[in-house]
Amino acid sequence: MNELVFFINNVVISGSVSGSIYAIGAVGVTLIFSIMRFAHFAHADVMTFGAFMVLLLTTAFPAAGASIGVPTALLMLPLAMLLTAGLAVGIDKLFYKPLRAHGVKPIVLVIASLGVTLILQGLIRLFSGTGGQSLYVDDRKEIFRLALPFEGVRAPIVVTEPQIYLFVITIVAVVALHLFLNRSRLGKAMRAMSDNPELAQASGINTNTIVAVTWMIAGALAAIAGTLLSLDVTFKPDLSFFLLLPIFAAAIVGGVGHPYGAIAGGFVVGFAETLAVFNWNILLRPFQDSFPSWLELPSNLAFVGTEYKIVVPFFILVAILVWRPTGLFKGKVIS
């Protein structure tokens, strides 16, 4: 049983944590792709920017959260979402819109977004330095240890406070997105434009509004994902290059342009990562006695070492591109 608890701690919980973060990030990428038709490489840096805004606000008012009993960082999240949404719209106005007006190929927009990546990264590093910083400036990270009511189980299930917030916020964000896309006028217009831009424009949908709204949603979601990640670990200015590949893998696994697919893809990638680095020997050890004597299990039965974690999303990406390039849920144009 202790082994099972270990499995839950190391795979189920940490897989859902990274899965939620990838899912929220991938939704933004996939929405941008479905409206603007290009892979937005700067998304991971928009996430970092959101987290950085939270860090700045939290450092400015460290005691604000204590009055209502939540960490200050969480209280500042809505404000940071607003700022990041503004940033995303601003980036589009400044960098992508002129290029779109020129009618360039989508790949030129991809290169421009790499330029934006570097600009954001440079700015964040310039102001925050290169080291890691905790978002818990004045508060304390609570750690909950849930002991299981079984005989002989000594190890508790460990969940930290930011992880609980993370699950709650992810569920809220997904439900809100679902309601927006299916119930609101703007959401329906967005889906129409993603399906057929010319037809959407011909039927009186203001495409400029849709583009702006898409950037705002993607920016706000990116701020959530970046903040939750930084709450769980620490804030680092160079988070983005480690996030880019899992997020794109998630978006492609789910079918590009498919928000629900991106959520599923995020969890697929998150769990695949944790399952691949998990040492399976721990689960097999209790059955060691029942194995034939010639079979001696090596002490490390992980598929890849933690240092090669990045191989996992890449492997998933390659596999999906080879076998099912449209993704699990039939995605958009790929040729």
Partner 1 sequence: MSHSAKTRDTSDTPQDATQTRRFPLRELVLFGVLLVAILAVYATMGAAYSTRMLVEAACYAILALGLTIQWGYAGQFNAGVMGFVALGGFCAMFFSVPVNDAFWGTTLPGEFGRVLLYGAAAILLIVGASKLDRLGVPKSLRTFITVVLGVVLYLVVISQLREVTDAIESQAGFVGGLGLPPWVGWIVGGALAGGVGYFIGHICLGLRSDYLAIATLGIAEIIKAFLKNSDWLTRGTATVSPLPWPTPGPAEVGFTLSRALYLSVTAVIIAVIFLLLNRAYNAPWGRMIRAIRDNEVSAAAMGKDINKRRLEIFVLGCILMGIGGGILGTFNSLFDPQGYLPLNHTFLVLVMVILGGPGNNLGTIFGAVAVYIIWIMSEPLALFLMQLAVAFGEGAFGWDTPGNMDSRALQARVLVIGVLITMVLRFAPKGLLPEKIKSHS
Q: Which residues bind partner 1 (CB under 8 A)?
A: 38-39, 41, 95, 98-99, 102-108, 110-112, 114-123, 125-126, 129-130, 241, 244-245, 248, 252, 280, 298, 300-301, 303, 305, 307-308, 310-311, 313-314, 317-318, 321-322, 325, 333-335
Query: Quick count: other Cβ atoms within 10 Å of Cβ 112?
Result: 21
In the structure encoding, which two tokens stand for residue 294, read together?
């010639």
Q: What minimum distance in Å lies between the beta carbon of 41 and partner 1?
A: 7
Please, which residue, 82 or 311, has the CB nearer to partner 1? 311
Using the structure block, give the residue that is written with the tokens 């099972």. Answer: 4
Q: Which helix or strand (DSSP H or E) is residue 145 part of?
A: strand 143-146
Rank residues 119 and 157 by Cβ distance to partner 1 and give the closer one: 119
Q: Which is nearer to partner 1, 290 or 335 (CB)?
A: 335
Minimum CB distance to partner 1, residue 125 (Å):
4
**Under a CB-based contact definition with an 8 Å cutoff, are residues 217 and 92 in contact?**
no
By beta-carbon proximity to partner 1, the closer residue of 70 and 311 is 311
**Closest separation in Å from C-beta 34 to partner 1:** 13
The smaller minimum CB distance to partner 1, of residues 293 and 300, is found at: 300
Q: What are phi and psi of 133, to 5 degrees?
A: -140, 145
How many of the other CB atoms lie within 10 Å of CB of 142?
Answer: 11
Please identify, using beta-carbon distances, which residue of 1 and 107 lies nearer to partner 1: 107
Instruction: Name residues whose C-beta falls within 8 Å of residue 192's C-beta, 6 or more positions apart in sequence.
Output: 199, 200, 203, 205
Q: Nearest approach, Cβ of 113 to partner 1 (angstroms)?
A: 9
H/E run at residue 158: strand 157-160
Tell me how far, at minimum, the Cβ of 210 lies from partner 1, in Å: 21
Give me the least distance between CB of 196 and partner 1, in Å please. 15
d(CA 334, CA 325): 8
- 196 contacts 207 by C-beta, under 8 angstroms: no
For partner 1, give the closer residue by CB, 8 or 310: 310
CB 272, CB 312: distance < 8 Å? yes
What DSSP string runs through 18-31?
Answer: HHHHHHHHHHHHHH
Instruction: Please name the residue ranges forming H helices in the chain.
Output: 2-7, 14-36, 43-60, 72-91, 97-102, 106-128, 161-183, 185-195, 197-202, 207-232, 240-253, 259-277, 281-284, 311-323
Cβ 101 to partner 1 shortest distance, Å: 10
Amino acid at 166: L
Minimum Å distance from CB 45 to partner 1?
10
* Nearest CB to partner 1, comparing residues 96 and 267: 96
Report residue 135: phi and psi, to 5°.
-80, -10
Smallest separation (angstroms) from partner 1 to the CB of 182: 28
Query: What one-letter code names the amino acid at 256?
Result: V
Strands 143-146 and 157-160: antiparallel
Task: Pick the closer one to partner 1 by CB: 6 or 303.
Answer: 303
